[in-house]
Structure 1
Amino acid sequence: MLALAVAIGLFALALTWRPSIAEVAPPAASSFPAAAVARGAVLARLGDCAVCHTADGGRPLAGARPLETPFGTLYSDNITPDPETGIGRWSLAAFRRAMRDGVSRTGSHLYPALPYEHFTHVSDGDLDALYAFLMSRRPVRQEAPPNRLIFPLGFRPLLAGWKMLFLHKGPIAPDPDRSADWNRGRYLVEGLGHCGGCHTPRNLAGGEKRGQALAGGAAEGWRAPPLDATNPAARTWTVQALQQYLSTGISPDHSAAGGPMGPVVESLSRVPEGDVRAIATYIASGMGNEGGRTPTRPIDVPGRAAQAYPLGATLFAGACAGCHGGGAPMMGQGRPALGLATNLRDQDPTSAIQAVLRGIQPPVGRRGPLMPGFADALTDEQVAEVLSYARTRFTDRPAWRKLDRKVAHARKESAQP
């Protein structure tokens, strides 16, 4: 029996073992063609590299940003070309393996907070350009803090089993029956853009539910709404509306970007217009125009809502009506009316709660909607009341149940590092 156990252990170790890839001398930034570096800069924005790999107040791409997961806290890696704490001694082969296989240069398995589930589909040419961009950045010496994970998930060889279940490699084949924009959009959404990393629900092991791609998920304590026909928007998301939203953070007929979507919009505002149009084309096709209606005007029934939630009506009049009430000045500046806001219409109140607690910042050049957070001004019960009032007044959706408990949970999520 002991011999069998040892044999099984050795077999398991063999399955999880990956060789290290030899170090290289840090390449000079001037060794990369300027065109490759410029292309890599665009790809880095499409992949939101700086969003996860830059700590609050930290140097760009130097890592150490805490990433909260259901399994504990991970800290992003330094991806500047620092030879000691970054990727300065990584070869192109090591970089490609990390992006496609989730294995570091030293052979250790990487956690799927690096969305190699999607990056595995990126072409050689794009990975090479991204490598050229990263290796031509200024090196920053910065160690990431140790991860804080539930036992025994700190044991990295376990990730080999996870990959066997959830890592599906291979290129994304073009569909000859679709347009060039649609195929480009699919490549970006399912590959480097990794939209499903937030907008697809996950199973108990943290893998994306492949049969429910883009059916809605979670990101940093916010709700990532479905990007399929179940999207709760009051008006249909057209290619034009999506392109405007992704580039500016605002669609007057839909929503304003908040939470983790803000940095995504900021990145997309600095990429070629054609790439944003392609993304919008692909996503709009998946929505199928089945999840939207086109009312002549947004719903607004204050009397019914005040009768149901008198405290919410009072709080709304004092804290919200100056911007969101009838005739408010902001409503003439291209901002979406509350009756059109996706968060307020969603069956999941998480993002509506977080918008009230944390507020919304303009995602692009300080232009766009600015909403202060009320976490310090309103109790959980008061947030629940004002949101219940707003949902009843401005939408035709049923009331959210046990909303005060959900507010308390969202506030706890907001307080995590």
Structure 2
Amino acid sequence: MLRRFLLAGAAAFGVYWWLTATPIVLAVTEPAYTPKLANGQIIFNAGGCPSCHAVPGQPDRLRLGGGLAIPSPFGSFYAPNISPDPADGIGRWTEAQFVNAVTKGVSPNGTHYFPAFPYTSYQHAKVEDVRDLFAYLKTLPKVSGKVRDHDVPFPFNIRRNVGIWKLLFMDGKPFTADAGRSAQWNRGAYLVNSFGHCAECHSPRNFLGGIIAAQRFAGGPNPEGEGWVPNITQKGLGDWSEKDFAYFLKTGETPDNDTASGLMGRVIKNTSQLPAEDRAAMAVYLKDLPPVEGPPRPAKAPK
């Protein structure tokens, strides 16, 4: 009986170890590739890198020393230093390590990154865009300083368990253009669903922290803990025109003369730097999102 129990335990542990392993990652196979820095800058702004990784409390959005606290139901995460500093940032990373981190959520030492890093969206990015981003990041100022460890309680702090989370919520598929749509629509779809990672905030999540696919873009509780993120499908913003979407991405101003603030205000600082044609493409795609009913908002407490 004891032997059977031990064998069953060993088998269960083996299955767990297999399921939670980091994915097989391959080195980038185009050594002759010449990075395009101008495109890297576009990807940098589309991805909103400064929103999380710029040093808090200082005005330079290109000082990517990290340190921003990112609260969540699973604990508080702290954005890492992604400046080119060789000791505290990514200055010693190889291009392949960066591509694997962004698209696979795997660190250079082979461990899982927590999904506070939105690689569930970045997995759909084109490898050449990630390579261009890496080249652009290396042109930015080096910022020294280690970021504190995440404040995540047991069992959520066990990185190995993220392997199972990835099996549930990552499909590993690159973006595929829709041949029945225009090039502009496809560009918008690519930016919104990959680097723009709009669904990461504008979608409700289940108890495991995974996006509820049937309510993608339909809004929900603010992942940072306060307030409500709006439904950006035609159910929530059906009266917005394509021009309204594009103007909002440039200025943060809504058609009813409100202004984005908080997390969305930080996003606008990035999208405002995008080429006008990319904001227009995102607007075309967003305007085309079918109406989806979001989760019910909690009733406001009486004053």
Is the structural similarity TM-score above 0.5? yes
Where does 1:167-186 land on structure 2 (aligned, <5 Å)?
167-186=170-189
Whole-Å separation in 1 of the counterparts to 2:290 and 2:90: 39
Whole-Å separation in 1 of the counterparts to 2:56 and 2:149: 17
1:197 aligns with 2:200: yes
Q: Do the aligned residues in 2 keep the contact of 1:37 with 1:133 (CA within 8 Å)?
A: yes
The one of 211, 226, 233 aligned to 1:228: 233
Q: Secondary structure at the match of 1:150?
A: coil
Cα shift at 1:145: 0.8
1:62 aligns with 2:47: no
Q: Do the aligned residues in 2 keep the contact of 1:99 with 1:116 (CA within 8 Å)?
A: yes
Q: Do the aligned residues in 2 keep the contact of 1:47 with 1:193 (CA within 8 Å)?
A: yes
The one-letter code of the counterpart of 1:126 is D
Whole-Å separation in 2 of the counterparts to 1:181 and 1:254: 27
Q: Secondary structure at the match of 2:8?
A: helix
Q: Which residue matches 1:17? A: 21
Q: Secondary structure at the match of 1:230?
A: helix
Whole-Å separation in 2 of the counterparts to 1:212 and 1:189: 16
Q: Secondary structure at the match of 1:157?
A: helix
Cα shift at 1:253: 3.5
Q: Which structure 1 segments of 5+ residues have no match?
A: 22-31, 292-345, 350-399, 405-417
Q: Residues 216 and 248 of structure 1: is their aligned pair in 2 closer, same or farther, counting only changes over 3 Å?
A: same
Q: Residues 19 and 91 of structure 1: is their aligned pair in 2 closer, same or farther, counting only changes over 3 Å?
A: farther
Q: Do the aligned residues in 1 keep the contact of 2:125 with 2:174 (CA within 8 Å)?
A: yes
Whole-Å separation in 2 of the counterparts to 1:214 and 1:258: 19
The one-letter code of the counterpart of 1:229 is Q
The one of 103, 123, 126 aligned to 1:123: 126
Q: Secondary structure at the match of 2:71?
A: strand
Q: Mean alpha-carbon deviation: is it higher for 11-20 or for 83-92?
A: 11-20
Cα shift at 1:151: 1.3
Cα shift at 1:287: 5.0
Q: Do the aligned residues in 2 keep the contact of 1:55 with 1:66 (CA within 8 Å)?
A: no
Which structure has more relative contact order (CA 8 Å, sep 6+)? It is 2
Q: Which residue matches 2:36? A: 36
Q: Residues 401 and 262 of structure 1: is their aligned pair in 2 closer, same or farther, counting only changes over 3 Å?
A: closer
Cα shift at 1:283: 0.5
Cα shift at 1:204: 0.5
Identity across matched positions, percent: 35
Q: Do the aligned residues in 1 keep the contact of 2:48 with 2:196 (CA within 8 Å)?
A: yes
The one-letter code of the counterpart of 1:111 is F
TM-score when normalising by structure 2: 0.87
Q: Which residue matches 1:294? A: none
Whole-Å separation in 1 of the counterparts to 2:284 and 2:257: 17
Q: Which residue matches 2:29? A: none
1:2 aligns with 2:6: yes
Q: Secondary structure at the match of 2:159?
A: coil
Q: Residues 403 and 79 of structure 1: is their aligned pair in 2 closer, same or farther, counting only changes over 3 Å?
A: farther
Cα shift at 1:402: 2.6
The one-letter code of the counterpart of 2:16 is A
Whole-Å separation in 1 of the counterparts to 2:248 and 2:223: 18
Larger Rg: 1
Q: Residues 214 and 44 of structure 1: is their aligned pair in 2 closer, same or farther, counting only changes over 3 Å?
A: same
1:133 aligns with 2:136: yes
Cα shift at 1:14: 3.6
Q: Residues 102 and 251 of structure 1: is their aligned pair in 2 closer, same or farther, counting only changes over 3 Å?
A: same
Cα-to-partner distance string for 1:293-320 (whole Å, 9 max, x where unaligned): xxxxxxxxxxxxxxxxxxxxxxxxxxxx
Cα shift at 1:116: 0.5
Q: Do the aligned residues in 2 keep the contact of 1:222 with 1:259 (CA within 8 Å)?
A: no
Whole-Å separation in 2 of the counterparts to 1:257 and 1:184: 24
Q: Which residue matches 1:258? A: 261
Whole-Å separation in 1 of the counterparts to 2:65 and 2:107: 16
- The structure with the greater share of residues assigned to helix is 1
Cα shift at 1:212: 1.2
1:402 aligns with 2:264: no
Q: Secondary structure at the match of 1:74?
A: strand
Q: Secondary structure at the match of 1:73?
A: strand
Q: Do the aligned residues in 2 keep the contact of 1:219 with 1:260 (CA within 8 Å)?
A: no
Whole-Å separation in 1 of the counterparts to 2:18 and 2:290: 44
Whole-Å separation in 2 of the counterparts to 1:83 and 1:20: 26
Q: Do the aligned residues in 2 keep the contact of 1:199 with 1:214 (CA within 8 Å)?
A: yes
The one-letter code of the counterpart of 1:93 is A
Whole-Å separation in 2 of the counterparts to 1:85 and 1:103: 18
The one of 136, 155, 159 aligned to 2:158: 155
Where does 1:303-322 land on structure 2 (aligned, <5 Å)?
none
Whole-Å separation in 1 of the counterparts to 2:106 and 2:51: 21
TM-score when normalising by structure 1: 0.64
Q: Secondary structure at the match of 2:283?
A: helix
Q: Secondary structure at the match of 1:184?
A: helix
Q: Do the aligned residues in 2 keep the contact of 1:19 with 1:106 (CA within 8 Å)?
A: no
The one-letter code of the counterpart of 1:112 is P
The one of 185, 190, 209 aligned to 2:212: 209
Q: Do the aligned residues in 2 keep the contact of 1:19 with 1:107 (CA within 8 Å)?
A: no
Whole-Å separation in 2 of the counterparts to 1:115 and 1:403: 36
The one-letter code of the counterpart of 1:83 is P
